[in-house]
Amino acid sequence: MRMRKNGFSLLEVMVSMLIAGLALLGLAATQLKSLQFANNSFDYTISLIQGQNAIERLWVRLCDVQTNNIDVTSDAFMAQLKPAQSIAYRYDLKKIAVNKSNKNDMTFTVSWVDKRTIQSGETHYDIADQVSLNTSYIQLYIPATPSTPVNGCTVL
């Protein structure tokens, strides 16, 4: 009498383990890329917040800027718009681009470098990770009254 074999052979088990292992490695690589791009989205969000903060910091000094013709692209003025040193090392607020025909129209650009998205084998990084925010400030009406300080801006 011949006995019937139940179960799988060692070769079948090894082949199925190899296929399962390759599939899991592929899933792990996909998950790693997904995490890299999620972190890049986080950088994008932080850059948007930093750009919006710079717009609001300029808004506070808008009267002074408009009445005294302050150069908003100067290094001294840009230092007032930049964030705390803790995030300034990774996110760079570029010089403000002022529209030549209307000085109240400006573009704020924040950039960052995500070196993890460099393709293997490449030595340089040529993807522009940056956010540009366009803003238009209103022209403030400065009344000529005795309550107006020397520079033309009323202190609240």
Is residue 59 within 8 Å of 136, Cβ to Cβ?
no
pTM for this one?
Answer: 0.68
Residue 63 corresponds to which amino acid?
Answer: C
- Element (H or E) spanning 50, and its range? helix 10-60
Is residue 72 within 8 Å of 46, Cβ to Cβ?
no
For the chain, which ranges sit under pLDDT 70? 1-4, 86-88, 116-127, 142-156
| Residue 119, pLDDT score | 66
Region of 109 (left: φ > 0; alpha: ψ -120 to 50; beta: rest) is beta
Q: Which two tokens stand for residue 108?
A: 């704020």
